[in-house]
Amino acid sequence: MRELSYAAAIREAHQQLLSEDDRVFVIGQGLWSPWYVGNTMTDLEKEFGRNRIIDCPVSENATTGAAVGAALSGMRPIVVHPRMDFMTLAVDPIVNQAANWSYLFAGQIGVPLVVRPIINRGGEQGAQHSQALQAFFMHVPGVKVVMPATPEDAKGLLVAAVYDGNPVLYIDDRWLYGITGPVPRHMYMTPLGVAAVRRRGNDITVVASSYMVQVALHAADRLKEQGIEAEVIDLRTIKPWDKDTVCNSVIKTGRLLVADGTWATGGVAAEIVAAVVSRVFRHLKAAPVRVCLPDTPAPTSRTLEQAYYPNANTIATAASWLVRSDPSIHDHRPTAELPGRIVFD
Amino acid sequence: MNRETLCQCYRLMLLIRSAEEKIGDWVERGEARCPCHLYIGQEAIAVGVGTAMRAGDTLWGNHRSHGHYLAREASLTGLFAEILGKATGCAHGRGGSMHLIAKDQGILGTVPIVAATIPLAVGAALASSLRRDGCVSVAFFGDGATEEGHFHESLNLAAVYKLPVIFVCENNQYASHLHWSERRPAANLHEVGSLYRIPGICLDGNDVEAVHEASLRAMERARAGAGPSFLECRTYRWRGHVGPRWDIDVGLKRRDELHDWLARCPIRRAKERLRKLGVTEAELSAIEQSVQDSIAQAEAEARAAPWPDEGELLHHVYCAAAPLDLPWFMPSIREAA
């Protein structure tokens, strides 16, 4: 099959959506810029016009609110926030308005809105240019949250988000933009709420989303060298997430590690661990472990930044420990790892 | 304004006043428990603007939107039932007074977060602009909403894209308990659009004819593609921020003001004008009687309506109707759905 980069797959999804459906338009900061949103929107304004690809004033709240209003009026808007941090200025239209609308009015009207915040971190950008706030939005009833990990899903989930008919947060990560993979040429949907098993294994279930899926797959290679077969599950949608696929895997392996690219406290991993423990407790051979960001803002200096983000080694260390540990003894924790990224409490 | 239109305005203003007096009674008696923000005293604005709107135009309200809803002739029974929490309410008992909907009348949902619907109205106008459907959206908000950041963001967006939206500021002097003079340096709200080149006008918000004429001009401008307008309608909220009390506890100043503003009742003014236009007492009485009949009938229907079923609690978190609305090029997916 033809291969595309993750960024090119996002662009192709936009291109096909805009070609096929007059209701679709895109609004956000930096859409006409050659660098603001990577190469995910390159030259689309030339093909579809600046009235449908709207590079907008620095008004996160009003542009997102306008997209909600346009969605209620029958359009299929996509709002882009080039950094998820900036989207905190648009919480009212997402959380108070779009998320509540269907329930408030008993399903008489929906909000077919896609909000696309981009996680854009690393490079010593620091606390306000690095955040991954998916757990915030996962908390709110009425919103769906998707986080593609592969080029194929980057395209298919965007199309599915536009046609879901509800507010969907489509969160992409610039650390994934360069990875390549097979992407069908035609327009297709990756169904929301369905996870993908990216690698089969019997010793431990590793659940991840977005960039952490790629990290987990690297970790699985290292674990194989140690004789440990990890099953890697890509959630794809973190709300509503695919409990059946995750729990069926845990029933098989008896061990769960959740790797999530945000903080541990109140995070996505916490939700998954809680649900798995509630559902399949008797199948667990050991207490689940989370690999997350330490509960601190993102630092800048390279040494601190390197210590901040979990990597394949972090996941491999935690998984190896989890597989080899005696479930009755939880004192023997791996000491080689830096503090914060492997969460035991 | 011609006699026929003014008669219609008089009837709608009276309907709003009477409906809200009824709602106020329910609140006093504890029969209506949701927060009810009454519009009494401001009726000329909703009616003056609402009667200038056309089918297809959208109206975006706020926490004080009974008047906007009724001015567009949405179902009175739907309003009463919603406020009483009944299953037949316009939002099926999920919204109460602050969340009203009447899709057929262009009211796609009113919500109480201050200024929140202003960008939504801009978005509806953006949709109209992209579709070139000739429709206009109207945002109703109070003077307090002009202190929110997204109000200013919205003015700029609407101006830069020349969108067909009318910003209707109902300046009733108070944001909850706080008088405008405690919140703003000057009484110059109508000038707020000048930085964005949005024409602004200061109107007597208790004069339904003046509001109607100004709305027609603003809508004509919007439909012609000339962009947004800002109408500051000065008025006064007779009752409290929320509930039916007269709200004189917020200070002696308000007691004096209230006396003056009661004398400027928009409904009485319209009635006097109708008399001058030759409308007879019998015709006026007929209008008043028809309003009272509507109120009585709607109240009876709302009271007789069932409560929402507890089993519906988890329904509609996501909108189920929308997924069927798939484009033609995905037949296989449509079948799967």
Q: If you average pLDDT over residues A153-157, what whole number do you get?
A: 98
Residue A226 in domain:
yes
Q: Which of B104, B165, B316, B326 to mutate to test the interface with A (most CBs of A within 10 A)?
A: B316
- For B50-89, the pLDDT digits (tens) are 999 999 999 999 999 999 999 999 999 999 999 999 999 9
* The pLDDT of residue A146 is above 80: yes
Q: From residue B316, how far is each of A72, A107, B99, B128, B311 by CA, in Å?
A: 16, 5, 15, 27, 12
CB contact under 8 A, B101 and A105: yes
Chain A residues whose beta carbon lies within 8 Å of the beta carbon of residue B330: 163, 187, 189
Structure confidence at residue B334 (pLDDT): 41
Is residue A302 one of the residues assigned to a domain?
Answer: yes
Question: Do A153 and A202 reside in the same domain of the chain?
Answer: no
> Of A135, A153, A182, which residue sits at a domain end?
A182
Size of interface A-B (CB pairs under 8 A): 177
B33 — contact with chain A (CB < 8 Å)?
A: no
Q: What is the CATH number of the domain that holds A335?
A: 3.40.50.920
Q: Which of residues 219-278 of B touch A (CB under 8 A)?
A: none
Q: In this complex, which of B116, B137, B317 lies closest to A96 when CB atoms are compared? A: B116
Looking at every residue in chain A, the average pLDDT score rounds to: 95
Within a 10 A sphere around the Cβ of B293, how many other Cβ atoms?
10
Range in A3-17, A243-257, B207-221, B316-330 with the lowest mean pLDDT: B316-330
> Do A157 and A10 sit in the same domain of this protein?
yes
Amino acid at position A22, single letter = D
CA distance B49 to B207: 11
User: Which among B94, B119, B318 has the least Cβ separation from residue A62?
Assistant: B119
Residues in A closer than 8 angstroms to B149, CB to CB, are 61
Contacts of A22 in chain B (CB under 8 A): 131
Q: Among the listed ranges A236-240, B35-39, B89-93, B252-256, which one has the minimum average pLDDT value?
A: B252-256
CA–CA gap between residue A198 and residue A218 (Å, rounded): 12
Residue B97 C-alpha, separation from nearest chain A C-alpha, in angstroms: 12
Give chain A positions within 8 Å (CB) of B315. Answer: 106-107
For chain A, the residue count is: 345
Q: Please give the pLDDT value at position B220.
A: 98
Q: Is the peptide bond before B228 cis (omega within 30 degrees of 0)?
A: no
Give chain A's count of helices (H) and strands (E). 12, 17
Domain count for chain A: 2
Domain shared by A127 and A61, yes or no: yes
| A235 and A317 fall within a common domain | yes
Tell me the pLDDT tens digit for each residue of B288-311: 999 999 999 999 999 999 999 999
Q: Work out the average pLDDT over A259-283.
A: 96
Quick check: B323 contacting A, CB < 8 Å?
A: yes
Tell me the pLDDT of chain B averaged across its residues. 93
Chain-chain contact of B130 with A163 (C-beta, under 8 angstroms): no
On whether residue A135 sits in a domain, the answer given is: yes
Query: Picking from A34-38, A95-99, A310-314, B166-170, which range would have the lowest pLDDT averaged per residue?
Result: A34-38
Domain boundary assignment for chain B: 3-336
Query: Is A62 close to B122, i.e. CB distance below 8 A?
Result: yes
Same domain, yes or no: A275 and A136: no
Mean predicted confidence (pLDDT) in A198-208: 98
- The answer to whether residue A60 is catalytic is yes
In this complex, the residue of B137, B149, B160 whose CB is nearest that of residue A57 is: B160
CB contact (8 A) between residue A57 and residue B157: yes
Q: Please write the tens of the pLDDT for every residue from A14-64.
A: 999 999 999 999 999 999 998 899 999 999 999 999 999 999 999 999 999
Gap between the Cα atoms of A17 and A158, Å rounded: 9
A104/B321 touch (CB, cutoff 8 Å), yes or no: no
Task: Report angle CA B313, B317, B321 to the nearest 5 degrees.
Answer: 110
pLDDT band for position B252 (cuts 50, 70, 90)? low
Distance from CA of B331 to the nearest CA of A (A): 11
Cα A179 to Cα A34, A158, A344: the distances in Å are 19, 17, 31
Would you say residue A244 lies in a domain? yes
> Quick check: B172 contacting A, CB < 8 Å?
no
Domain of A103 in residue numbering reads as 3-182
- pTM attached to this predicted model: 0.95
Instruction: For residue A64, give the H/E element and its range.
Output: helix A60-72
Question: Could you tell me the pLDDT band of residue B326, with boundaries at 50, 70 and 90?
Answer: low
Which of A132-136, A212-216, B133-137, B242-246 has the lowest average pLDDT? B242-246
Looking at the fold, whether A76 and A204 belong to one and the same domain comes out as no
A188 domain residue, yes or no: no
Q: What is the CATH number of the domain that holds A101?
A: 3.40.50.970
Q: Which stretch of A51-60, B103-112, B321-330 has the lowest confidence by average pLDDT? A: B321-330
- Once rounded to an integer, what is the mean pLDDT over residues B207-214? 98
- Average pLDDT estimate for A163-173: 97
Are the Cβ atoms of A96 and B153 closer than 8 angstroms?
A: no
B174 forms beta bridges with B179
The residues that bridge with B171 in the sheet, in sequence order, are B234
Q: Do A94 and A121 fall within a single domain?
A: yes
Query: Cα–Cα distance between A62 and A58 in angstroms, integer?
Result: 9
Mutate to test the interface with A, among B120, B122, B312 (most CBs of A within 10 A): B120
Q: Which residue of A17, A51, A59, A73 is the best one to mutate when testing the B interface, meaning the one whose CB has the most B CBs within 10 A?
A: A73
Interface residue of A86, A104, A157 to substitute, partner B, most B CBs within 10 Å: A104
Q: pLDDT value at position B335?
A: 45
At B327, is the pLDDT very low, low, confident or very high (cuts 50, 70, 90)? low
Q: Is B14 on the interface with A (CB under 8 A)?
A: no
For residue B116, the distance in angstroms to the closest alpha carbon of chain A comes to 7
- Which of A125, A150, A182 is a domain's end point? A182
> Is it the case that residue A256 has pLDDT exceeding 70?
yes
Q: Is B179 on the interface with A (CB under 8 A)?
A: no
Taking the C-alpha atoms of residue B69 and residue B188, their distance in angstroms, rounded to an integer, is 28
What residue of A is the nearest CA neighbor of B129? A51
Q: What is the pLDDT of residue A341?
A: 85
Distance (Å) of CA B40 to CA A280, B15, B85, B251, B266: 58, 11, 22, 20, 10
Residue A102 to residue B319, Cβ atoms within 8 A: yes
- Tens digit of each residue's pLDDT (9 = 90 or more) over A209-250: 999 999 999 999 999 999 999 999 999 999 999 999 999 999
Number of neighbouring beta carbons within 10 Å of residue A181:
16
Confidence class for position A337, pLDDT limits 50, 70, 90: low
Residue A12 appears among annotated catalytic residues: no
3-state helix, strand, coil in chain B (%, to 5): 50, 10, 40
How far A25 CA sits from the closest chain B CA (Å)?
A: 9
CA distance A277 to chain B (A): 24
ipTM over cut 0.90: yes
Domain boundary among A182, A214, A230: A182
Question: Which pLDDT score, from 0 to 100, does residue A278 have?
Answer: 97
Which one of A21, A97, A109 has the shortest CB-CB distance to B103? Answer: A109
Beta bridge partners of B76: none
Q: Which CATH number fits domain B3-336: 3.30.565.10, 3.40.50.970, 3.40.50.1820, 3.60.20.10?
A: 3.40.50.970
Instruction: Indicate the pLDDT class of residue A327, thresholds 50, 70 and 90.
Output: low
User: Is the same domain home to A67 and A178?
Assistant: yes
Place of tokens 């790629």: A214
pLDDT over 90, % of chain B:
89
Q: Do B153 and A62 touch (CB under 8 A)?
A: yes
Same domain, A110 and A176: yes
Put simply, whether B334 touches A (Cβ < 8 Å) is no
